[in-house]
Amino acid sequence: MSIKYAILGLLHYKDMHGYRIKSHIERNFGHMWSINFGQIYPNLRSLLDEGLVTMKAVDTPGEKGPGRKLYSITEEGKQAFAQWLAAPPEGNTILRDPFLMRFIFYGFGAPADALKAIDHQLVVYTGQLAQRQDNLSRWRSHDQYVRLMAELGVSFNTMVIQWLENARAEIEAMDRTAQSKAADGSQT
């Protein structure tokens, strides 16, 4: 449901068409949320039906593909958005992630598999961190809230990387201890 309001929020900046909304979200917040056409077009449709946006077909013959449909926010849309914004956000953050889901159970597998998965996550998060830091510098002088949000992204990645490195070291140490104990046992 909040995707509707996210669209209304973006339309405060300027009029946009569906495709632009998606690439805008991906470019700016894509590291935090994902969105797809299956959500955007039906939502735009229902926003239109509810009178929260208006649409104007723009047929520029020189352009590629089908004619764009420019959406603008209406007064009612702004009101509905303001109401949503002032309302207390319900529900809290949950870190739902396929890696973390597996992580809990790595004790049932070989430590080597766990280390491999951790290394892979390190590559992913390191790359993402670079991208987020880049984004942050682009937004230096922009909207305060958008910048703060970008800072959260950087903090999050930094924190996770630290945690992964520490976990890696701990698991390796534990593995070595287990191996030397096994060697001890076979010696006596």
Q: Which of 9, 151, 142 is nearest to 80 (CA)?
A: 9
Determine which residue in the list 15, 19, 24, 168 makes contact with DNA, applying CB under 7 A: 19
Q: Work out how close the CB of 109 gets to its own copies at its nearest, in angstroms, rounded to a whole number.
A: 5
SS3 state at 16: strand
Question: With contact defined as beta carbons under 8 Å apart, do 44 and 15 qualify?
Answer: no
**Contact region for DNA (CB under 7 A) — 16-24, 76-84, 104-112, 168-176?**
16-24
Determine which residue in the list 12, 14, 23, 162 makes contact with DNA, applying CB under 7 A: 23
Evaluate the CA torsion angle 1, 82, 154, 20 in order and state its sign. Answer: positive
**Residue 188 binding partner per list its own copies, DNA, none, with a CB distance cut-off of 5 to 8 Å that depends on partner kind:** none
Near DNA in 36-95, by CB under 7 A: 36-39, 41-42, 44-45, 62-69
SS3 state at 155: helix
**Residue 69 binding partner per list its own copies, DNA, none, with a CB distance cut-off of 5 to 8 Å that depends on partner kind:** DNA
Determine which residue in the list 36, 98, 137, 141 makes contact with its own copies, applying CB under 8 A: 98
Rounded-to-integer distance, Cα 72 and Cα 11, Å: 6
